[in-house]
Amino acid sequence: MYTFEFLGVTEPLALAQRSGPETKEFPTMQSRITGTTMPVLEFALDPNESIISEAGELSWMSSSIQMTTHTQFGGGGGLFGVLKRVAGGGSIFMTEYRALGAAGELAFATKLPGHIVPVEVSPGHEYMIHRQGFLCATSQIQIGVGFQQSLGAGIFGGDGFLLQKVSGQGTAWLELSGELVMRDLQPGETLRVHPGHVGAFQASVSFQITTVPGIKNMIFGGDGIFLAALTGPGRIWLQTLPIARLAHAIEKYLPREPSRQAVEGGVVGGIVGSILDNIK
């Protein structure tokens, strides 16, 4: 059994007992989530066990882990499977991490403050997640397009609104940003949500894009034009930190490259000023 060392104490991952909110343990494939604001998902893989993720998600791994990057993982069998995954906001390539010859350690950290949510997936128990919500999964999980609707140029980065569908058999780990609010909708119960706050929901939940009621609300309300209508039955996860809103909030603090005209004007002004100084 693979072990981790914390503060000089070595212990098996599957037997570690830690209280409080900082560590959550799950019996499937010896995994645990450590941390609060920026959590990390750790695995202790037995020989020949594997995890798949989109390319570029890895945080660290031990020497016994072999990486294989291919288009065929995550339900990407053939060109059609790859296109379905890409249409849902996923990447063309997926990476498999497999423990070869010995047990191994593998970890994935979140890219934003938020939470990692494990879900058990099986036929009839699929999930819809926002386009950046897939972190990693066991090898039999499939990723495809779940919902796609154009909402006009300039909205959601001009890409429209996309949801990925997680299906197959196994466990998937989702990355949701900010704090989480979980709601269990009763049959026929509808919750209208700003699309950016939709983190994930069970496939049994009906989903459609609606418009904000009232012309004045659309123009002067400041909440956008569209809302997502989620209708039960089923569980939904709402995230409090949509990536688009975070990007908008920090945009004004980012350094900007001066325009070419401004640069040229500055150069010409400097030359003219130098000439005038010499004339004096």
pLDDT in tens, 182-226: 999 999 999 999 888 999 999 999 998 887 766 655 555 555 578
Q: Are 32 and 26 in contact (CB under 8 A)?
A: yes
CA distance 192 to 209: 9
Q: For residue 81, what is the domain's CATH number?
A: 3.60.160.10
Closest by CA position to 91, among listed 134, 126, 128, 120: 134
| Residue 41 CA from chain centroid, whole number | 13
Q: Residue 16 pairs with which residues in a beta bridge?
A: none
% of the chain beyond a pLDDT of 70: 65
**Does any domain span residue 267?**
no
| Domain assignment of residue 108, yes or no | yes
Rounded distance between C-alpha atoms, residue 87 and residue 54, angstroms: 14
Q: Let me know: does 240 contact 196? Beta carbons within 8 Å.
A: no
Higher-pLDDT residue of 257, 226? 226
- Tell me, yes or no, whether 275 lies in a domain: no
In a domain, 117, yes or no: yes
277 within a domain of the structure (yes/no): no
For residues 253-262, average pLDDT? 67
Structure-block tokens of residue 258: 């001066």
* Structural contact between residues 199 and 130, judged by C-beta atoms closer than 8 angstroms: yes
Compare 127 and 14 and report the one with higher pLDDT.
127
pLDDT in tens, 136-153: 999 999 988 877 655 543
7 Rama sector, left if φ>0, alpha if ψ -120 to 50, beta otherwise = left
Give exposure, 250-277, as e/b (b: 16+ Cβ within 10 Å). eeeeeeeeeeeeeeeeeeeeeeeeeeee
The answer to whether residue 262 sits within a structural domain is no
Domain count, the chain: 1
264 found inside a domain: no
pTM: 0.74
Structural domain including 97 reads 3-254
Q: Is the pLDDT of residue 266 over 80?
A: no
Is 132 inside a domain boundary? Answer: yes
Is the separation of the CB atoms in 123 and 165 below 8 Å?
no
Structure tokens at 117: 């949510």
Task: Count Cβ atoms below 10 Å from residue 43 Cβ, excluding itself.
Answer: 24
